[in-house]
Chains A and B, each alone.
Chain A
Amino acid sequence: MGVGITVEHLNAFYGKTQALFDINIIVAANHATALIGPSGCGKSTFIRCLNRMHETIPEASVEGKVHIGDLSVYNGTSATQLRRRVGMVFQKPNPFPTMSIYDNVAAGLKLNGFRNRKQLDEVVHKSLHSSALWDEVKDSLHKKSGASLSGGQQQRLCIARALAVQPEVLLMDEPCSALDPISTGKIEELIFQLKEQYTIVIVTHNMQQAARVAEFTGFFLLGKMIEFDKTEKIFTNPSDKRTEDYVTGRFG
């Protein structure tokens, strides 16, 4: 089951440059939350703070409190343990090119020392079903490399890979920006189903996509969160002038 996320007074830096300013947000469990805003506004930086990917960049640093369920992200939890509970899907599909489709999905478990063949089979089967890829790859699980799939299939493979470690939260950083409309449609459908079991935070450049998949939407501008509310309200009756300008296409 998904868990909620609480963020209090989050500031993020790249060296001396501040990228996020005092972000406060409560993300509801088992819902999809979309983050929108123009390029460079800090959306990606923000979700990379939720699973501590931000700190893998040299000289990057974070201040503030983040809780994923009852887990304190920046206080006494190791980054590797945290990331097993918070899955991530990236902007560009990034399957492991030298691994088979099966090994890609099983990678998270295998590399963390899980070896039970039968259970691995089950997890791979289940994850590929959840990501709606099973029927397309079931005959070539061990024969084909993850990199041999099409872009849309690769992204669903990456989603399956993230699901295989059984996370509670799924972070998606513009998961459809490299995909065609049909693949995008498939991923959006998938997000709808995944919400039942996971809490989803999705960064998107596509406002229609936010409106389609998310119950809640946050609007970022220049490293600050301008407005966070129900998606419907953000798109029909935002309380901040800047949000209105952005969603009506006056800038960005």
Chain B
Amino acid sequence: MPPVSLRRRVMDHAMTGAAVLTVLLVLLPLFAIFAYLVYKGIGSINIAFLTQTPKPVGEPGGGMANAIVGSMVILGIASLLGVPLGIGAGIFLSEYGRNRYGDIVRFVSDVLNGVPSIVIGIVAYGLVVMRQKHFSALAGGVALAIMMIPTIARTTEQMLLLVPQAIREAAYGLGVSRWRTTLSITLRTATSGVITGVMLAFARVAGETAPLLFTAFGNQFWNWKSDQPTAALSLQIFTYAISPFDEWHRQAWAGALVLIILIVGAVAAVRIAVRHGTLSGA
């Protein structure tokens, strides 16, 4: 092999260095935020914080247990509604939407993606709260679900389009019907990409506050009914952060830390579960 010229070697190292540098720059804000949250919040996280409901101002202790559970309930409802609808829309766009109807749906979905989250909160208020006559976890879930749908639909579409036509033809060739092929072959082949989209949407709405303000509303006490006002971590953080009390500020930091840990934990758990189910060499 002829020796590589000095210029090329220098260039090679410079480019590799530049690539590493950009990665660090991208990761820096994430680590900075996380480190600051830990610094500010870790001191206020204790058993009481994770097991008790908020105490009135002035009384020491108290926690966000009801908000942690409330967030999980609201996100659960949002996922239950948003994930199937989003994936269904993605399937339509990729398998049946290579035409004008598909273009309309794509356009509407992109617009929906750009609608301010507080406006979506108003929609959920009109759809659910006005009818039920009170705030509820369901209303909050509906608002977040609406926000999840466009992200999931567009990523699902992209992931399904990446599945080679040859794979679909292989299934058709075996006498498998079109809908079965879509569900059991195309969607299954694209599973890991589709899940990435779902997780992106989930993580994005998990920290949303604005659409919950007049849907889930928040609650200082335990509530196990999905048709009653429900606490959420993001709402609790908001309420505490704008309050004038130092104790509440500390709890807000702790709440933010718990929220980010919950999101990272949920995403990691799903990733591990998916990896566990795949084969070697796939």
- A51's closest neighbor in chain B, by CB? B173
A44-92 interface with B by 8 A CB criterion: 51, 53, 56, 58, 79-85, 87-88, 90, 92
Known contacts being A100-B279, A143-B280, A145-B280, is A90 close to B174, with CB within 8 Å?
no
B15-68 interface with A by 8 A CB criterion: none
The residues of A that contact B5 with a CB separation of less than 8 Å are: none
Q: Are the CB atoms of B279 and A98 closer together than 8 Å?
A: yes
Rounded to whole Å, the gap between the CB of A161 and the closest CB of chain B is: 7
Which of B175, B191, B278 lies at the interface centre, i.e. has the most chain A CB atoms within 10 A of its CB?
A: B175
The residues of B that contact A210 with a CB separation of less than 8 Å are: none
Q: Is B3 an interface residue (CB 8 A)?
A: no
Known contacts being A111-B184, A147-B281, is A53 close to B173, with CB within 8 Å?
yes
Q: Is A158 an interface residue (CB 8 A)?
A: yes
B117-172 interface with A by 8 A CB criterion: 164, 166-172
The residues of B that contact A94 with a CB separation of less than 8 Å are: 164, 166-167, 169-170
Q: Are the CB atoms of A165 and B174 closer together than 8 Å?
A: yes
Per-residue CB contact flags for chain A residues 25-57 toward chain B (1 = under 8 Å, else 0) read 000000000000000000000000001010010
Per-residue CB contact flags for chain B residues 168-206 toward chain A (1 = under 8 Å, else 0) read 111111111100110011001101000000000000000
Q: Are the CB atoms of B185 and A96 closer together than 8 Å?
A: yes
Known contacts being A94-B164, A111-B180, is A144 close to B281, with CB within 8 Å?
yes
Q: Which of A81, A99, A145 contacts B175 (CB 8 A)?
A: A81
Q: Are the CB atoms of A98 and B191 closer together than 8 Å?
A: yes
- B185's closest neighbor in chain A, by CB? A96
Q: How many A-B residue pairs have CB under 8 A?
A: 93
Q: Is B8 an interface residue (CB 8 A)?
A: no
The residues of B that contact A88 with a CB separation of less than 8 Å are: 173
Q: Which of A81, A92, A111 contacts B171 (CB 8 A)?
A: A111
- B191's closest neighbor in chain A, by CB? A98
Q: Are the CB atoms of B174 and A107 closer together than 8 Å?
A: yes
The residues of B that contact A87 with a CB separation of less than 8 Å are: 173-174
Q: Are the CB atoms of B169 and A56 closer together than 8 Å?
A: yes
B86-132 interface with A by 8 A CB criterion: 98
Q: Is A238 an interface residue (CB 8 A)?
A: no
Q: Is B282 an interface residue (CB 8 A)?
A: yes
Q: Is A221 an interface residue (CB 8 A)?
A: no
Known contacts being A90-B169, A98-B189, is A148 close to B174, with CB within 8 Å?
no
Q: Is A112 an interface residue (CB 8 A)?
A: yes
Number of interface residues of A (CB under 8 A): 35
The residues of A that contact B170 with a CB separation of less than 8 Å are: 90, 94-96, 158, 161
A84 to B180, CA, bound (A): 14
Q: Are the CB atoms of A111 and B189 closer together than 8 Å?
A: no
Q: Are the CB atoms of A96 and B167 closer together than 8 Å?
A: yes
A52 to B105, CA, bound (A): 31
Rounded to whole Å, the gap between the CB of A145 and the closest CB of chain B is: 4
Place the interface of chain B in its size category.
20 to 34
A225 to B241, CA, bound (A): 80
Q: Are the CB atoms of A56 and B281 closer together than 8 Å?
A: no
The residues of B that contact A97 with a CB separation of less than 8 Å are: 167, 189, 282
Q: Is A108 an interface residue (CB 8 A)?
A: yes
- B170's closest neighbor in chain A, by CB? A94
Per-residue CB contact flags for chain A residues 141-158 toward chain B (1 = under 8 Å, else 0) read 001110110000000001
Which of B172, B188, B278 lies at the interface centre, i.e. has the most chain A CB atoms within 10 A of its CB?
A: B172
Q: Is A123 an interface residue (CB 8 A)?
A: no
Q: Are the CB atoms of A80 and B169 closer together than 8 Å?
A: no
- A100's closest neighbor in chain B, by CB? B279
Q: Which of B164, B172, B174, B181 contacts A161 (CB 8 A)?
A: B174
Q: Are the CB atoms of B173 and A145 closer together than 8 Å?
A: no
The residues of B that contact A147 with a CB separation of less than 8 Å are: 281-282
- A109's closest neighbor in chain B, by CB? B174
Known contacts being A96-B185, A147-B281, is A108 close to B175, with CB within 8 Å?
yes
A147 to B167, CA, bound (A): 12
Q: Are the CB atoms of A56 and B172 closer together than 8 Å?
A: yes
Known contacts being A90-B166, A96-B185, A98-B191, is A143 close to B279, with CB within 8 Å?
yes
A92 to B189, CA, bound (A): 17
A170-213 interface with B by 8 A CB criterion: none
The residues of A that contact B180 with a CB separation of less than 8 Å are: 111
The 10 closest A-B pairs by CB, nearest first: A148-B281, A84-B175, A108-B174, A88-B173, A145-B282, A83-B175, A145-B279, A94-B166, A145-B281, A94-B170
Given contacts A58-B98, A88-B173, A111-B185, 5 further A-B contacts (CB under 8 A): A83-B172, A98-B279, A143-B279, A145-B279, A158-B170
Q: Which residues of A pack against B, CB within 8 Å?
A: 51, 53, 56, 58, 79-85, 87-88, 90, 92, 94-100, 107-108, 111-112, 143-145, 147-148, 158, 161-162, 165
